[in-house]
Amino acid sequence: MNKKVRKAVIAGNWKMNKTPAEAKVLVEEMAPLVKGADCGVVVCVPYVDLCTVLDAVKGTNIEVGAENCHWEKSGAYTGEISADMLVSMGVQYVIIGHSERRTYFGDTDVTVQKRVRAALDAGLTVILCVGEYLEQREQGITDELVAMQTKIALGGVSKQELSKIIIAYEPVWAIGTGKTATAEQANEVCSVIRGVVAGLYDNAAADALTIQYGGSMNAKNAEELLDQPDVDGGLIGGASLKAADFSVIVKAASR
Ligand code: 13P
């Protein structure tokens, strides 16, 4: 596998944090610190912040994503947001299948697949999250589980469409806990995912796929994680809420 053929992407996942006013301050602080980065820089923000953040990133290298989308184009789905609505605002990315959506809001492999389809149809780039719970790691089924999540989510995705997919490996036990996977553990599972993609498509498609690690990645551990051959970037929660920390991670990915 050749890391040189694919792009590193550092994406922030703000989760349910920051009002529009706070979001503006954070992005304005972040923009000069990540200017000229040799990697993709994305902030995925709450729906209510999208308008403000899209405006604040104009003229910068920061791209904007949402944290979820519904699979239908429109209709009687109170409280939901469609992929087309996001695109109409100028949003380019969407996180799909985050473990917090799976755990707290009933997202399943099947609904994840439907959301991926809708997002691709609308023209969004998908950050598809997969990852195991601690119990599953202890049971020794991490590889099988992550392979299954990947296969189901990519069901119906063509080889050409794969260029609009980033996969984020996020072990659930490492999210927001301060417990990072070791660089070896992160690389091992990212490499399993790449192998699954090679099996579904071919080696060239797998080589070109950006695979991020997520789970307590921070300014201190980013370099070691990003140095791994199959880790092409990060999906950052807590540390993406601090401009200085986020920019250190972006710099580590730019080397
Ligand atoms: P933390 O970086 O806060 O552990 O969150 C990771 C995450 O869930 C990103 O999607």
| Full set of structural domains in the chain with CATH | 9-242 (3.20.20.70)
Cβ within 8 Å of residue 66, ≥6 positions away: 44, 45, 47, 50, 81, 86, 91, 93, 94, 95
Helix axes 183-200, 142-153, angle to 10 degrees: 40
- Do you know the residue count of the chain? 255
Pocket probe for ligand 1: among 100, 101, 127, 175, the residue whose CB has the most ligand atoms within 8 Å is 175
> Could you tell me which residues are beta bridge partners of residue 235?
11, 214
Between the CA of 214 and the centroid of ligand 1 the distance, in Å, is 6
Cβ within 8 Å of residue 104, ≥6 positions away: none
C-alpha span between 220 and 232 (Å, rounded): 17
For residue 201, report the phi and psi dihedrals to the nearest 5 degrees.
Answer: -120, -100
98 is a catalytic site residue: yes
Give residue ranges with CB within 6 A of ligand 1. Answer: 13, 98, 170, 175-176, 214-217, 235-239
pLDDT of amino acid 1? 42
C-alpha span between 98 and 16 (Å, rounded): 13
Contact between residue 64 and residue 92 where contact means Cβ atoms under 8 Å apart: yes
Cβ within 8 Å of residue 106, ≥6 positions away: none
pLDDT tens, residue order, the chain (255 aa): 456 789 899 999 999 999 999 999 999 999 999 999 999 999 999 999 999 999 999 999 999 999 999 999 999 999 999 999 999 999 999 999 999 999 999 999 999 999 999 999 999 999 999 999 999 999 999 999 999 999 999 999 999 999 999 999 999 999 989 888 899 999 999 999 999 999 999 999 999 999 999 999 999 999 999 999 999 999 999 999 999 999 999 999 997
